[in-house]
Amino acid sequence: MRRKADSLIPLEARILAAGLAFRERGQPDFHGFLVAKEIQADTSARRLTAHGTLYKALGRLEKAGLVRSRWEDPEAAAHERRPRRRLYEVTSTGERALADAARADRAGATRRGALEVA
Amino acid sequence: MNELAERLARSWVCLYTLGLGPEVRAARRAEIASDLWEHRRDATATGATDFAAAVLGRMLAGMPSDVVWSVESRGSAPEASARGLPWLSQRGLQTAIIWGTAVFVAALSLIDAAGMPFLGFMVLGIGGVLLVAGLMRAVLGSPGGAGSGSLEENRMDADIYRGRRVRLLVVLGASVAIVLAIWAHALSLDHWGDTRTVVFTVGGILFPVIALGALVLLIADLLRMRRA
**What averages of pLDDT result for each successive group of 10 residues across chain B (228 residues)?**
85 86 91 95 90 91 88 62 44 59 66 62 67 60 43 52 68 73 68 63 70 70 62
Residues of B in contact with A59 (CB under 8 A): 69
On whether the CB atoms of residues B59 and B132 are closer than 8 A, the answer is: no
Beta strands per DSSP E along chain B? none
Nearest C-alpha of chain A: how many angstroms from B45? 14
Report CB contact under 8 Å: B65, A52: yes
Nearest C-alpha of chain A: how many angstroms from B130? 28
Residues of B in contact with A86 (CB under 8 A): 27, 30-31, 34
Residues of B in contact with A56 (CB under 8 A): 62, 65-66, 68-69
Q: What is the pTM of this model?
A: 0.57
Nearest 5°: CA angle at B90, between B87 and B93? 75
Number of residues that this document lists for chain B = 228
Spatial separation of the C-alpha atoms in residues B199 and B65, rounded to whole Å: 36
SS3 letters for A40-103? HHHHCCCCCCCHHHHHHHHHHHHHCCCEEEEECCHHHHHHCCCCCCEEEEECHHHHHHHHHHHH
Report CB contact under 8 Å: B64, A52: yes
Residues of B in contact with A32 (CB under 8 A): 31, 34-35, 38
In the predicted model, residues of chain A with pLDDT beneath 70 are: 1-6, 109, 111-118
Residues of B in contact with A83 (CB under 8 A): 30, 33-34, 37
Report CB contact under 8 Å: A47, B33: no
Spatial separation of the C-alpha atoms in residues B40 and A82, rounded to whole Å: 11
R_g of chain A, CA atoms, integer Å = 16
On whether the CB atoms of residues B217 and B137 are closer than 8 A, the answer is: no
Q: pLDDT at position A96, please? A: 94
**N- to C-terminal Cα distance for chain B?**
51
On whether the CB atoms of residues B103 and B124 are closer than 8 A, the answer is: yes
Q: pLDDT at position B176, please? A: 74
Assess B26–A contact: CB distance below 8 Å, yes or no.
no
Q: CB pairs under 8 A, 24+ apart, for B215-220?
A: B215/B168, B215/B172, B217/B138, B217/B139, B217/B142, B217/B164, B217/B168, B218/B165, B218/B168, B218/B169, B218/B172
Q: Partners of A69 in the beta sheet?
A: A88
Spatial separation of the C-alpha atoms in residues B67 and B193, rounded to whole Å: 41
Q: How far is CA B154 from CA B139, B149, B214, in A?
A: 20, 6, 24
Per DSSP, helices labelled H in B77-89 are 78-83
- Condensed to tens digits (0 to 9), the pLDDT of residues A60-82 reads 999 999 999 999 998 988 998 99
Residue among A65, A78, A6, A32 at smallest CA distance from B34: A32
Report CB contact under 8 Å: A55, B33: no
- What phi, psi does B192 have (nearest 5°)? -115, 95
Nearest C-alpha of chain A: how many angstroms from B49? 14
Q: pLDDT at position A33, please? A: 96
Q: pLDDT at position B135, please? A: 61
Q: pLDDT at position A46, please? A: 86
Nearest C-alpha of chain A: how many angstroms from B138? 25
Spatial separation of the C-alpha atoms in residues A89 and B186, rounded to whole Å: 64
Spatial separation of the C-alpha atoms in residues A65 and A23, rounded to whole Å: 18
Report CB contact under 8 Å: B34, A83: yes
Q: Residue B202: which residues within 8 A CB-CB, separation 6 or more?
A: B124, B128
**ipTM of the prediction greater than 0.90, yes or no:** no
How many beta carbons lie within 10 A of that of residue A12, not counting itself? Answer: 21
Q: pLDDT at position A32, please? A: 95
Q: pLDDT at position A55, please? A: 96
Q: pLDDT at position B162, please? A: 65
Spatial separation of the C-alpha atoms in residues B175 and B207, rounded to whole Å: 5
CA B177 to chain centre: 20
Which residue of chain A is at minimal alpha-carbon distance from B56? A50
